[in-house]
Amino acid sequence: MPYLFTSESVSEGHPDKISDQISDAILDHFLAYDSEAKVAIETLVTTGQIVLAGEVNSKTWVNVQKVARDTLRKIGYTKNEYRFNADSCGVISSIQEQSRDLFQGIIQNKKKENQGAGDQGMVFGYAIKETENYMPLSLEISHYLLRELSSIRNEGEKMLYLRPDAKSQVTLEYSDKNIPIHIHTIVISTQHDEFDTKEKMHKRIVQDIKNILIPRVKNILSKDIKKLFTDRTKYYINSTGKFVTGGPHGDTGITGRKIIVDTYGGRGSHGGGSFSGKDPSKVDRSAAYAARHIAKNLVAAGVADELSIQISYAVGIAKPIGIFVNTYGSSKKELLDEEIVLKIKKNFDFRPYAITKRLKLCNPIYEETAVYGHMGKIPKKVWKYFSDIEGNKKKQKVELFTWEKLDYLPIIKEVFDI
């Protein structure tokens, strides 16, 4: 039977995403000066206040207050009327040394390649042959809507009333053959200046979303996806009528509360652990990237049209406790899912050190992951700039989103005889 499926996204100005970006920016600054730093940073933002907490074990130190303020400026919180201003908000830091018990679990083996997982946990990787980057379409469109809305705000030429906080939601209608056939509903809530009566503001914003934002989004989508926008598509835009009070003044934000936005929009599964603020010794993050890398390469190689992989770990133990694969009946080879697992285990190393080395995860590459999803982005090399607690500046070239590379296609095709 036909069915509906929904995913959501949030902008860089959403309170939880502000927290994620600050946590990852601090992590990047530590890794820039100490690639083996062990970091777990949590950020809380509320009216006029940032609270930093967590654990760090590093040979360097970072001006975390400055990093937090710089991150806010990039997002756009630079006006007092937002009740949250990068230059005037308070920043409280309560960062302490990492637990020696956990740290010993990581480093107890003298061989780096056998160092244990930084914590117990299970992670999932997922890929589906529904978009060019093997991500769920409902999530992709949700991200596109807010990325373009953010671009409009930053360009400063149209919709000049826009403020940083925004959310989107896309509901797709699927056929009984699991093919997207129609965009059923688009929901957008965007923070804005108060510039007229409630009714006139709402009418203007609805018109601008439909006449400015939607055409821009459609212009960057493929023809097949454009066709899914129809006269039957429903729009709910600022459905309460007004969204002036937003950002951390309207809602407290905390690191790690948008894990479904960060991954697959509700498709596949999620192990429950968040990503931002954690160095790669935490398998919540590194193994989730490894799982996505393998799932994407397997689907791209033609092993299945849809695939989910689960990996589970015990703290201090290098090798996974278990690996599970589900192809949802879409396998293109006459192989049981259990047989796919056996081939994966023989050809891929899931120990934390091997994952970190394979995907170059000890580099300062994380701030860019903290908004519009950790998965599905285009790998690229960029120059980044950092400073330590003493103000020493550093320029470093890094490769972003290595887990999105299709570099294992030859291996998989050979292993699976494709």
Annotated binding-site residue? 142? no
- Cα 393 to Cα 83: distance, rounded to the nearest angstrom: 31
Of 384, 398, 389, 353, nearest in space to 36 by CA: 353
Annotated binding-site residue? 166? yes
Annotated binding-site residue? 16? yes
Annotated binding-site residue? 55? yes
Packing angle, helices 352-359 and 283-301, rounded to 10: 60
User: What DSSP string describes 299-359?
Assistant: HHHTSBSEEEEEEEE-BT-SS-SEEEEE-TT-BSSS--HHHHHHHHHHH---SHHHHHHHH
Annotated binding-site residue? 42? yes
Q: Within 13 Å of residue 239, how many CA atoms lie on the same side as its CB?
A: 10
The token pair that represents 122 in the structure block: 């299970």
Annotated binding-site residue? 270? no
Annotated binding-site residue? 282? yes
The token pair that represents 265 in the structure block: 């929009």
Annotated binding-site residue? 101? no
Three-state DSSP at 170 gives strand
**What type of residue is 301?**
A
Contact predicate 95/41, CB 8 Å: yes
CA distances from 237 to 79, 191, 401 (A): 25, 11, 32
The token pair that represents 373 in the structure block: 């999803």
Contact predicate 343/309, CB 8 Å: no
The per-residue b/e assignment along 204-214, b for 16 or more CB within 10 angstroms, e otherwise, is ebbebbeeebb
Cα 65 off chain centre by: 23
Of 103, 104, 16, nearest in space to 56 by CA: 103
Annotated binding-site residue? 242? yes
Annotated binding-site residue? 208? no
Annotated binding-site residue? 257? yes
Binding residues: 14, 16, 42, 55, 98, 165-167, 242-243, 251, 257-258, 274, 278, 282
Binding residues for K(+): 42
Binding residues for L-methionine: 55, 98, 251, 282
Binding residues for Mg(2+): 16
Binding residues for ATP: 14, 165-167, 242-243, 251, 257-258, 274, 278
